[in-house]
Structure 1
Amino acid sequence: MDSTIPNHTTPQLPQAASAIQKDVPLKEILSATSIGYLARNIELVFPNFDKDSFSTQATTGLDELTLMQRADHIATALRAHLPTSYQDAIDILVASFTPELTQSSDNGLAVFFYLPHSAFIAKYGVKASGEETDPFDLSMAAQYQLTKRFTAEFSIRSFLLHDPNRALATIQTWLSDPDEHVRRLCSEGTRPRLPWGKRLPDFGKTPDKVLFILEALKDDPSLYVRRSVANHLGDIAKDQPDWVLEICRNWGEEANKERRWLIRHAIRYLDKKNYPGANELRRQMK
């Protein structure tokens, strides 16, 4: 698979469809074209970047890989061509980012361009290699920036698994962030059963550990954030249904219409499974 490296003068995203298209595999978002854009974006902030060698490695064997495998494959090529110092490498990647998103919808599939960046952070930024300094905080800061362009909900799970207390302490500082993408990450990134993401079984079995996140965001002004809270509760409900029902009953007292919607959405799985009390609570929240 050959890549064509463009010559834009500021970091850019390649064009992509606005939604998944029939008969077009999602993995094609990470193609030779996107690799060319990635190479050029990095070259703009790191002129010594060997874009041709990187592109050759990143595109070799790409056809047979799934979307997430492609992201990991490209991340491996990035590690081979960026400075050996993780701090220098992550500084370059962050400097190559495009401007922050200004909305939570209608961004299309173009932002999946950043999936290799997410994979790079998760793969190389959790713990120090050799005599390097601890990269944990650098990586959390990079994910803070990444989620303003795409999402860090996949990468942050490696940090929650490695050192949950430390990761949660950082997440707590993001709960009142003015950017809704950052606030959503606090909930979405800690979901126990996030699709495509690593499982966080401890948060499903002992959800009190993340209750402070859900409490802080349950009345968030952004539907984008509140929907994540509802889905998060839906994940927990598969392990701790009674815990979720109790939380939702407490939240349902004098709830406004936005919170009632959240509760209905959160327990729809339990209602579908005819779990005792779920249907009655959903009807009360209409």
Structure 2
Amino acid sequence: MSEIAVDHLVGLNAGRVEARTLTEALAIDHRVLLRAAIPDAAAELTEAVETAQSLGILKRMAAIGAALHQHLPVEARDALAVRPSDTVRGWMCFAIAADTTLDAETLLLAIQPFADDPRFTVREWVWMAVRPRLTSDLPGSIELLIPWTREESANLRRFASESLRPRGVWASHIAALKQNPAIGEPLLEPLRSDPSRYVQDSVANWINDAAKTNPEWARELCERWRVESPTAATTRITARALRSLK
């Protein structure tokens, strides 16, 4: 973090520029960013962000999102969705996820623009924001995400896979998928020869996650794919998927 240029860090904290790396995203002082993004923030919101700053990054984002949902009017929250700061747009992902009145289908529709955001950081925040809600009804969520595997945007196809990885990154594990990864096959099958490397890597990582607790399933799936789909994309996915197995 000490290597981040001072003027760029000032821009990040002022909400004028986007994070170029994960390190830059982690360096942001959310208290300063809040003052820049919402100068007239209510005292309750300011206090919540002050407390959240000391938390780990994922808990921090979730706490700020919940505070925005609770203490900021809807029209003011909506304006944050188009701010230049990718961190502010990330806050919005968690603010939407904090709205427990939304059913899973409505929630996914609401966060879809963030899942297709041009900035990678927002695309990461959004799946982490909604993952707890999606895992609360795994069969239903998988059914809702199947159409996403057919989206034109590689970002949306990748969300369908990444959001329900058995282990994920910075996220709680999904015990049901670790024990029985076949449950997730309806999301993986349509992506087994996806032309996008961004999607390929997610599918491979999904299988690699599952291989740590169910290696035979991973081997059998990859062998079947190699036979049924002898494409360069499938070959790349299966090779990366089994990288942790001897």
Tell whether the structures are fold-level matches, with TM greater than 0.5. Answer: yes
Give unmatched runs, 5+ long, in structure 1. 1-11, 41-49, 84-88, 101-109, 129-133, 272-286
The residue identity in structure 2 corresponding to 1:32 is R
Cα deviation, residue 98, structure 1: 2.6
The 1:30–1:198 alpha-carbon spacing in structure 2 relative to 1, beyond 3 Å, is: farther
Give the equivalent residue in structure 2 for 1:27. 26
The residue identity in structure 1 corresponding to 2:223 is R
Distance 1:82 1:59 in 2: 13
The 1:236–1:94 alpha-carbon spacing in structure 2 relative to 1, beyond 3 Å, is: farther
Give the equivalent residue in structure 2 for 1:6. none
Over aligned residues, Cα RMSD in angstroms? 2.8
* Off by >4 Å, runs of 4+ in structure 1: none
The 1:216–1:36 alpha-carbon spacing in structure 2 relative to 1, beyond 3 Å, is: farther
Residue pair 2:82, 2:89 contacting (<8 A) in 1 also:
no
Task: Say whether 1:75 aligns with 2:77.
Answer: no
Distance 1:159 1:69 in 2: 15
Give the equivalent residue in structure 1 for 2:107. 139
Q: Give the number of the structure whose residues are more often helix, by fraction.
A: 2
Cα deviation, residue 186, structure 1: 0.4
Task: Say whether 1:241 aligns with 2:215.
Answer: yes
The 1:17–1:163 alpha-carbon spacing in structure 2 relative to 1, beyond 3 Å, is: closer
The residue identity in structure 2 corresponding to 1:18 is R
Q: Percent identity?
A: 23
The residue identity in structure 1 corresponding to 2:150 is S
Give the equivalent residue in structure 1 for 2:82. 98
Cα deviation, residue 199, structure 1: 1.6
The 1:214–1:92 alpha-carbon spacing in structure 2 relative to 1, beyond 3 Å, is: farther
Give the equivalent residue in structure 2 for 1:226. 200
Give the equivalent residue in structure 2 for 1:15. 17
The residue identity in structure 2 corresponding to 1:115 is G
Normalising by structure 2, we get a TM-score of 0.79
Pick one of 173, 187, 202 that aligns with 1:213: 187
Distance 2:104 2:53 in 1: 33
Cα deviation, residue 17, structure 1: 4.3
The superposition leaves residues 118-171 of structure 1 with CA deviations (integer Å, 9 ceiling, x where unpaired) of 33233x23x43xxxxx54333121121221122222123222222222222210
- Residue 197 of structure 1 aligns to a residue whose secondary structure is coil
Cα deviation, residue 180, structure 1: 1.2
Cα deviation, residue 197, structure 1: 1.4
Give unmatched runs, 5+ long, in structure 2. 1-13
Residue pair 2:94, 2:130 contacting (<8 A) in 1 also:
no
Give the equivalent residue in structure 2 for 1:118. 93
Aligned length: 226
The superposition leaves residues 16-48 of structure 1 with CA deviations (integer Å, 9 ceiling, x where unpaired) of 442245xx7x533352343245437xxxxxxxx
